[in-house]
Chain A
Amino acid sequence: MGMSLQQIVFGVLSIISIISALGVILSKNPVTSVLCLIVTFFTIAGHYIMLNAQFLAVVHIIVYAGAIMVLFLFVIMLMNLNAEIEPQKRSWLKYAGAISGGALLLVLLAALREASVSSLQPGAVEIGLISNLGKTLFSTYVLPFEVSSILFLSAMVGAVVIGKKEGHES
């Protein structure tokens, strides 16, 4: 076999991520979709570790699997959507969606097949370590870091504006 251990791990992780990603869009039960998405997120974290992005792998698990998907599960259970209540979409619309997504896939794959990019070296690089990322974030990227606070303020205001019941609401 001409495959290195790295390639075998990559292959297994990729197959699991693609199958579980398909599970997200094909499953009829929203709770199954959420669980499939969590599996996809874990495989992506595995890819991050293989790519020497250790800090991102940890943050990814904490933010996506830990916070975002739990919120999704809460909302789904709050609405009692765990039953298969989604009526079937008119089938031609469904096929149109699948065909246009597939067309995009084919176009991108065909275009990027010839892209001249180098190979990844097996050796470890230091860039993904927390001390290096911290230095970069607070030196070169300090302005976007501050600017993102505007985004959070508006999300915070938005949660209040949208979530709060108003007196005259029916």
Chain B
Amino acid sequence: MNALISTALAGVVMMFAGLFIRNKQHIKFVAIAALLIVSVANLAELSTIEGGSRTVLGMVTVSHFSILFNAIAFGATLIYFLLSGSAFEKVGEHVADYFALVFFILSGITLASSFSNLLMLFLAIEIISIPQYILAGSNKRTPKSSEASLKYFLMGSFSTGILLMGITLIYGAAGTFNIEELGLGNGDINPLALCGIILLAFALSFKVSAAPFHFWTPDVYDGSPTVFTSFMATVVKAGSFIAFIRIFHGAFTGTNISAHWQLLLSLVTAATLLIGNFTAVFQQSVKRMLAYSSIAQAGFMLFAVISMNKYATQGIILYAAAYSVATIGVFAVTMKLKDYTFDGFNGLARTQPVLAVTTAIFVCSLAGIPLTAGFFAKYFVLTAAVQQGNLLWLVVLAVLCAAISAYYYFRVIIAMYFKQGEPATKEEITGGFKVMLVITAAIVILLGVFPGLLLNLI
């Protein structure tokens, strides 16, 4: 609850900051300070919870898990503000409003990690979505941005309609919106419940851009201002996954019903892994490659949804942290370059060695190389699937796809270290930015060596 209230207040503070603070650099500092306060308020709640969880008014259940996930989302956003916060000024004039919208998205994510009622799920998804439509269209200078916004909006509200139909059918079967009381799947399967769960799975697959509902992703991520793509593809996607896991692990665990959606979602996972990885191979622009790789990474995160055990919860926590931090890092470096294609990275190791080394670490983490956070993230979600049994074919497919992904991730490293070129940067690379990059890379390696730092907190 602290996290929800403080993020909403921080959003309001940012709206007023735009009114009173003329210096755009200072607005960024206000946002960072507000985020620090939000993080502290979130962690302060940890001591007030007795017995694992606390339910507020029957709508929200705050637990150690949700607080830990909020902390990861806030931490990743803090890194994002520190690395890319100055890029907000280049998008348009309403800098404070962009920060306010980011805070509103964060309050949606805190809701997604703690809802215990289907109405709150709907509100969480909407609070996450509506600011994103706006951020996607915030660059007024290029028509691509407005079109990305329109496309995202139409597809997003379409999927909301499907989500609502799913919720309604589930209500028809169960007679309640409280996810702990739904009690589906014990005994005979009600066709209403089954249709509802399938529609819900489709709608949420859409929100996390899983195949075959991923078609909006490349255009939207490519058209949106890069600084916001970086946020949408990382923290927001992890937030949508938490909503997915909460509802499916919290309410649809009955043995009769879980077999049905597990089969459906394992097919979705296979399609996501194949389509994401194979199309990422053919991209020439790093920004578009990252858009497709975010689809591929969603395939790995889906493993945590399909397998219902403690490795899955640990895996999604670790995956959310590893994937978000590394992708935010790569995006931050990409944004400094003039040319977003692979050729734009040629020779970066010679001109900007710090940028090159840290980018290499981030990319290795995304590919899942040992000693980086991405390795243990992939290890945990795949272990969860192995423990689940009957999913071995999917695990084999995932390992093959991870091998394919190494090809397009390493193209960045090859361009930086083994090709000649004069990479042009948009602006002077400041010392502070380099320090932040090094700290971020250190976090990636630290989590890769001691994943227990995060996992012991659950």
Contact = CB atoms under 8 A, between A and B. Distances in A.
Q: Do chains A and B touch in the complex (CB under 8 A)?
A: yes
Interface of A: 108, 111-112, 114-117, 140-144, 147-151, 153-155, 157-158, 160-162, 164-170
B101 interface: yes
Interface residues on B, range: 35 or more
B344 interface: no
A147 B120 contact: yes
Contacts of A153: 8, 11-12, 15, 100, 104
B140 interface: yes
Contacts of A150: 8, 11, 104, 107-108, 127
Nearest to A112: B191
B178 to A, nearest CB: 10
Contact of B131 (A140, A147, A148, A154): A154
A142 B57 contact: yes
A135 B108 CA distance: 26
A167 B123 contact: no
Secondary structure at the B interface, as helix, strand, loop or mixed, is helix
Contacts of B134: 154, 157-158, 161-162
Contact of A147 (B98, B123, B191): B123
B140 A143 contact: no
Contact of B101 (A148, A149, A154, A170): A154
A143 B192 contact: no
Interface of B: 4, 8, 11-12, 15, 56-60, 92-94, 97-98, 100-101, 104, 107-108, 111, 117, 119-120, 123, 126-127, 130-131, 133-134, 137-138, 140-141, 149, 169, 172, 190-192, 194-195
Contact of B94 (A115, A116, A155, A164): A164
A137 to B, nearest CB: 11
Contact of A161 (B11, B56, B57, B94): B94
A143 B130 CA distance: 20
Contacts of B100: 153-154, 157
Contacts of B131: 154, 157-158
A165 B60 CA distance: 40
A7 to B, nearest CB: 21
A93 to B, nearest CB: 13
Nearest to B12: A153
Given A154-B101, A154-B104, A112 B59 contact: no
Among A108, A142, A144, A169, chain B packs the most CB atoms within 10 A around the CB of A144
B14 to A, nearest CB: 9
Contacts of B140: 165-166, 169
A108 B168 CA distance: 13
